Structure 1
Amino acid sequence: MTRHGRLRRLRATVAAGTAWVALVGGGLVGATPARGAPNGLRQLTETTLAPGVDYRRFAVSTPHGTAYAHLLTVDLRTARTATGLLYPDAVGARAPVTRLADARGAVAAVNGDFFNITEIQHPGVEATGAPVGPAVAGGRVLKGAVPRGQRFGPALPPGASVRDVIGVGTDRRARVDRLSLRGTVRTPRGALRLRGLNQYAVAVDGVGAFTSDWGTTSRVRATCGTDTDRSAPCSTETREVTVRRGRVTAVARTPGKGAIASDAVVLVGREAGARALRGLRVGDPVRTAYTLKGTQRTPFDFAVGGYPIARDGRPLEGLDAVTTAVRTGAGVGRGGRLLHLLALDGRAEYRSGLTIAELAEVMLELGARDVVNLDGGGSSTLVTRPPGGTRTKVRNHPSGGSERPVPNGIGVFTRS
């Protein structure tokens, strides 16, 4: 459907008496729209940050106030342009987006996945800060997705999954996909299915693996809650087995914390998974293998969790059209050659933001065909590095008044 067609459909919705987003006008007082603004959005500024990387700012008028959108458009056809996953060198850790971007020399970035932000339901258990969905960095598998009932964030729309991701493949094309963990633990007593990889929650009755990528954060949270209830009590039947260079080197009744050696894997089991690990002894041979399986053969260079809200140029059915918030979205256009990264402004006077349905329409108007919703609220952050500058600057006024530390983000780079 064309942009004009989508606007006609929105107007028809209004005639039927349904609330909608009026994607017209609403700019800053005295502002002059830049040339080339998409239909229904008022472009306020435009800056080229690097070859193939543009930053623009828009105003969006809605029934609940004016929202301001900050947009990065990345042309992956530009040879000097690259993208990647930003994270603080550990899955179970958080840092502000500016720090993540500056550490890697990014010219721009946005925040990424929802994450384990609090543990008020489990007194004494440490919140890990680890993200919800799968993650791939530099072509390397970092983690799998937690069970659906263990996720943080708004309710998923129909058909969405905790395993959904957006990323860029080794073919330099962006895409939305679904990544499922496939893994096996081979022991002297037989093979066990791996039910988690560097996750803050392992499936009930399962065995999860933790590698050096996890960091030093406690692994206790992995045995709390259930597949359908994040706030359920922690399991009372657990086991932890440390395997180094293919041999068991330590066993424990409860999960621990601290750094994991680069040549080691820590296996954490709960319920039936704990019972399966209980028979292992120091010196036993154990082999662990895993991968993330997608729907396409081309592997990801990077991927980050986020749930789809538009596909093939159309918003998905069942999107929330009532709840407004500051949001971050990412979209794919021109057959995967364009990556659109958007964060709404969280300044107090226009913090109402957009609904999920409105975010989908805005991203489609900007040229995306497939769109995902990333973490929002106080996490929504978009940063850029001015041409000739050495440090990035936050562009969108985070709603909490300052940057919230986040587990990961999408970085944009330019090669010299």
Structure 2
Amino acid sequence: AVPCLRTAAPASAASGGGAALLADEDLADGVHYSEEALSDFAGKQGYRLRLNHLEVNPSAGGLHILAAKAGDTVNALETVDSQAQRELAKGNKIVAGINADSFDLDYGSNRGILIQNGSILTSQPYSAYTTDQPAFFVDRQNGAHIGPLRVGGEIQIGSGYKAETDLVNRNHFWGPAGYKSPVNSTRLYTAALMADHRMVHGTGAPPAEQAYALIQLRDYDGNLHVGSTYKGQVVLTYASAGFTFPKDCVVYAGYGTKAAQVKALTAGMDVTLTYHLYTGGYTQNPDGTLKDRGTQADDVVTAVNSFQLLARGGALNHAVVDSVGTDKRARTVIGITGAGIVHIVTVSEPGPKFSASEGATMKDIANYMLTSLNCRDVVNMDGGGSTDMIVRNAGDGRLKTVNYPTEGKPRKVSDSLLIASDRALPGSRSYLSDTTADMTVDGPYTFKITSGSKPSFAMGTPGIFSVRLVKRQGSDYFYQVTPTGAPGQQAGVYVNGGPRLLVLTVGGSAETAVVSDTTAPFTVRQGGQYQFKLTSALRPQLVAGSPSFSVSFAKREGSRWYFKVRAVGRPGQGCGFYINRAAKPVAVGSIK
């Protein structure tokens, strides 16, 4: 197995507060999932966050990072889970995923570039878009990157027409998906534009001057593969939109001042069409065409656009985080470390079914990604009600939402970033538990774990519950957990080192719960001392049942309280020791 490279510092240390680990498991080789409840986040008292975290090693064997699109259609909306189900039907073994780009709520078109399996579904809406709002992309060598990424196309029709055609499936002229797209432009559309393969426009009216050429391409499967050159012919021309076109055709459109050039094209003209991807900077001619497109990047196989760049080279992007996203909201963020490890984090905000997380500002979550997870570059994806993370837990054949959606259920979104693995996924659990649902515990509670050999039983967060094996009956092992933390604190239960079984919460009446390190009878020489260690969220009271022993408080270490008892009576005397005025002694001491 290829593990993720674990971060050096625990999240609680860098976030400036405490942390309860609620989930912690490997989903596949190179994919680790965890959930944390953070308190006093960013060193601010009372600042509570619930984080869901995927740590992904792109170089792990059999691992694939994929981009998915709602309905496999540019203008469509689906939940992240529905998009993942579509990919599962194609044979991709999805183990996790998140929502990606922001989008037009009315039509479902994503704002920026989207590359699927080395093919262009949508381009940037204008040349500068991914310079300001970079893409997250993965190359054929499984390297992950954050930076500018642009589509660059060239088309030649007949012997006299040659032009750039950089805008692909950008059918909006206003709104989130088209507000800065150049009006006087040529654009190329594939049949994936709409589910019914119609040539239509989205938000904003196009110019009155329009022209369309329907081009049939040879050896074209409906996908514009990066780095490929296609040849074909113009088969029809149109003066307005609204027509339907087949999957083996593309539409070349001219708008405004560019319409006349397309209107002059005629059926039968030969066509050559080529597309590449470019990263880095670019230079532009006075007429808006590109003089230098940047560095060719045809090895990119997956790309989704971000909403904002939060950090670059290990430093905050103050132009964004000081003025944008200063409110506490649900967030979806992606970061990459210097070693190439990808960290994907969602932050939940209050909703109708959840209130234990306030949401985060962009600056606070960016700082967390830099300091806790050692990321160098960080981008913010769509957030708020769109924030969604799904995972397939070990031993569970289904994907499920693990964050806490703002609207009480996952929102339909435009596109998603999915993690797939060709390797065998973690199998079923090696034990049976009589308790499998999350629960609140006010006092001692006993689990029955059925296992072929003695199982390990552990709490994900120490100091909140104590654990002890109380008995065994054949292959049944009984483990008793007792709350020692403060009411409301949580910890996950883990058996045999596997995925989280459930989450235990300390109940409100557990404030008086105390665990003693001494429960058996003991003997002390006359004048000698013995020490009790009592574990409790609040300071307990320990008293001797007779004057033969004196009791004094010694010290405190977190939730551990130490008491010294001295044998001041005569040999043969003894008594019981009582915690918090209990009716029965926790232990009995005698003097020798």
Task: Sort the TM-score into its range (normalised by shorter chain).
Answer: 0.7 to 0.9
Partner of 2:554: none
Number of positions where the alignment pairs a residue of Structure 1 with one of Structure 2: 358
Partner of 1:335: 339
Partner of 1:313: 314
Q: Secondary structure at the match of 2:15?
A: coil
CA distance in 2: counterparts of 1:200 and 1:380, whole angstroms:
26
Is the aligned partner of 1:397 residue 2:430?
A: no
Asked if 1 retains the 8 angstrom alpha-carbon contact of 2:309 and 2:320, the reply is no
Partner of 2:212: 240
Per the TM alignment, residue 142 of structure 1 is displaced from its structure 2 partner at its CA by 2.3
CA shift digits 1:358-391 (9 cap, x unpaired): 2211211222211111111111100001213222
Partner of 1:45: 23
Supply the AA of the counterpart residue of 2:311: A
CA shift digits 1:277-305 (9 cap, x unpaired): 11122223333322221236652121110
Q: Secondary structure at the match of 2:318?
A: coil
CA distance in 2: counterparts of 1:410 and 1:331, whole angstroms:
13
Q: Secondary structure at the match of 2:85?
A: helix
Per the TM alignment, residue 185 of structure 1 is displaced from its structure 2 partner at its CA by 2.3
| TM-score normalised by the chain length of structure 2 | 0.56
Q: Secondary structure at the match of 1:113?
A: coil
Residue number among 91, 109, 115 corresponding to 2:103 in the alignment: 115
CA distance in 2: counterparts of 1:407 and 1:207, whole angstroms:
24
Partner of 1:221: 201
Q: Looking at CA atoms only, which structure, 1 or 2, has the larger radius of gyration?
A: 2
CA distance in 2: counterparts of 1:52 and 1:269, whole angstroms:
46
Supply the AA of the counterpart residue of 2:52: H
Asked if 1 retains the 8 angstrom alpha-carbon contact of 2:167 and 2:187, the reply is yes
Gaps of 5+ in 1: 9-21, 28-32, 34-42, 119-126, 152-158, 226-232
Partner of 2:550: none
Residues 261 and 334 (structure 1 numbering): CA distance in 2 closer, same or farther, change over 3 Å? same
Question: Which residues in structure 2 correspond to 1:250-289 (within 5 Å)?
Answer: 250-256=236-242, 258=244, 260-289=245-274
CA shift digits 1:60-106 (9 cap, x unpaired): 43558422111101122321322111223222222111112233230
Supply the AA of the counterpart residue of 2:314: G
Residues 318 and 288 (structure 1 numbering): CA distance in 2 closer, same or farther, change over 3 Å? same
CA distance in 2: counterparts of 1:161 and 1:256, whole angstroms:
34
Residue number among 366, 369, 373 corresponding to 1:366 in the alignment: 373
Per the TM alignment, residue 3 of structure 1 is displaced from its structure 2 partner at its CA by 9.3
Q: Secondary structure at the match of 1:366?
A: coil
Partner of 1:165: 135
Residues 314 and 261 (structure 1 numbering): CA distance in 2 closer, same or farther, change over 3 Å? same
Asked if 1 retains the 8 angstrom alpha-carbon contact of 2:310 and 2:380, the reply is yes
Partner of 1:409: 416
CA distance in 1: counterparts of 2:332 and 2:305, whole angstroms:
12
Is the aligned partner of 1:377 residue 2:384?
A: yes
CA distance in 2: counterparts of 1:275 and 1:335, whole angstroms:
51
Asked if 2 retains the 8 angstrom alpha-carbon contact of 1:187 and 1:287, the reply is yes
Higher strand share: 2
Q: Secondary structure at the match of 2:247?
A: coil
Supply the AA of the counterpart residue of 1:300: V
Percent identity over the alignment is: 24
Partner of 2:359: 353
Is the aligned partner of 1:210 residue 2:189?
A: yes
Asked if 1 retains the 8 angstrom alpha-carbon contact of 2:206 and 2:255, the reply is no
The worse-fitting range, judged by mean Cα deviation, of 71-80 and 260-269 is 260-269
Residue number among 5, 10, 16 corresponding to 1:24 in the alignment: 16
Per the TM alignment, residue 144 of structure 1 is displaced from its structure 2 partner at its CA by 0.7
Residues 237 and 134 (structure 1 numbering): CA distance in 2 closer, same or farther, change over 3 Å? same
Asked if 2 retains the 8 angstrom alpha-carbon contact of 1:220 and 1:254, the reply is no
CA shift digits 1:30-57 (9 cap, x unpaired): xxx4xxxxxxxxx443121122211111
Partner of 1:183: 153
CA distance in 1: counterparts of 2:64 and 2:421, whole angstroms:
6
Partner of 1:303: 303
CA shift digits 1:151-174 (9 cap, x unpaired): 8xxxxxxx9524x21122111111
Per the TM alignment, residue 334 of structure 1 is displaced from its structure 2 partner at its CA by 3.8
Gaps of 5+ in 2: 1-6, 88-92, 173-180, 218-231, 281-294, 424-592
Asked if 2 retains the 8 angstrom alpha-carbon contact of 1:144 and 1:292, the reply is no
